[in-house]
Amino acid sequence: MFDLSTNALFMMLLTGLQMGSIYVLIALGLTLIFGTLGVVNFAHGALYLVAIYLAVSINDAMGFGFALILVPAILFVLGVAMERGLIQYFYNRPHTDQILVTFGLAIVIQEVLKWFFGANNIPFAIPSWGNGIIMMHEWFPFLEGFVVYPKWRLILVVVSIITVAAVFALLHLTTFGLVIRAGMRDPEMLQFLGVNINRRFMIVFGLGSLIAGVAGVFGGPVTQVSPEVGMHLLVPSFLVVVIGGMGSLSGAVLAGVLIGMAQSFTAHDINLSTIIVYLITVIVLLVRPRGLLGAKGVFE
């Protein structure tokens, strides 16, 4: 057993939270789209890819402030366009067709970005206010000695918490959210009640894409900016959605943090850390096939 001091434990928890933040942000969009539209979006990683490349370009050209506002906005428009232009024709087709077409789209987006920006990693300059480190021992008196953490990674955690809170507030405190939640339960009934569900589906897709945009702006410096990142993040994010329960937002948050923690706590052992995510997936599937917080009757 390794020696577990208060400091080490604190750092592991923090790192786990930070790793989980990215998964949560990407899985949130995935599960939102899946829960409402029933579409498994294999192109979600590609949307994240678009976001980080846009963020780098806008950040270099106009500064971080513009990137922060423009990237999620552009991603929202892109998501809406994608839903109107492509996904809506696939609602009545088999799920495999939806997976195939979004997979094709993911390849096309990835290759276009590779064409424009090259296959290599592009440096993402963090704005000056986000650079540097934070003296954690000044904030948390129980830590012994000198403990520091990169500032940007803490900002990422805070942004994730705010995003999750905003999505929950939108879904649980507004009428729009009420309709969306009703749509997740029973879209057919909602249409009988005269609600134009298609327009809302379109907005939900845009929202999922917007969250990927937020993830790209803040996650880009942490996950690197290269064409492989999209697919690389998509697999663990899918697992987060599966572990949390397909279509369950709180499940995605819980599972995202769980996976982040698991990776952080096994980081000292390369053999264990490469398979821990899959190990957890297998255990969860065996014990709770529906996922941790999966609702009964959702795509059984």
Partner 1 sequence: MKMQQGFFERNRSVFIFALIALTMPFWFPLIGGYSGLDTKIMVFCIFVVGFDLLLGYTGYLSFGHAAFFGIAAYTTGLMLKGFSDNIIPAIIVAVIVSTLVSVVIGLLTLKRTGIYFSILTLAFAEMFHSMAMAMLQQWTGGENGLTGMPTPMLFSIKMQGDAVFYFITFVAILMFYVAKRIERSPVGLMMRAIKCNQTRLEYTGINARKYKLLTFVISAAYAALAGALMVVYEPFVGHEFLGWHQSGEIVIMSVIGGVGTLVGPMLGAAFMLYFENVLSVDLGEQWLLVLGMIFMVVVIFMPGGFMEAVSRLQARFTQK
Nearer to partner 1, 19 or 147 (CB): 19
Nearer to partner 1, 60 or 228 (CB): 228
Q: In the complex, what is the shortest distance from the CB of residue 108 to partner 1, in angstroms, rounded to a whole number?
A: 4
Q: In the complex, what is the shortest distance from the CB of residue 104 to partner 1, in angstroms, rounded to a whole number?
A: 4
Nearer to partner 1, 70 or 99 (CB): 99
Nearer to partner 1, 68 or 258 (CB): 258
Nearer to partner 1, 21 or 102 (CB): 102
Residues that bind partner 1 (CB under 8 A): 40, 86, 89, 93-97, 99-101, 103-105, 107-108, 111-112, 114-115, 231, 235, 238-239, 241-242, 246, 270-271, 274-275, 277-278, 281-282, 285-286, 289, 299-300
Q: In the complex, what is the shortest distance from the CB of residue 105 to partner 1, in angstroms, rounded to a whole number?
A: 6
Nearer to partner 1, 89 or 140 (CB): 89
The b/e string for 31-46 (b: 16+ C-beta within 10 A; e otherwise) is bbbbbbbbbbbbbbbb
Q: In the complex, what is the shortest distance from the CB of residue 88 to partner 1, in angstroms, rounded to a whole number?
A: 12
Q: How far is residue 23's CA from residue 160's CA, in Å, rounded to a whole number?
A: 10
Q: In the complex, what is the shortest distance from the CB of residue 84 to partner 1, in angstroms, rounded to a whole number?
A: 14
Q: In the complex, what is the shortest distance from the CB of residue 295 to partner 1, in angstroms, rounded to a whole number?
A: 14
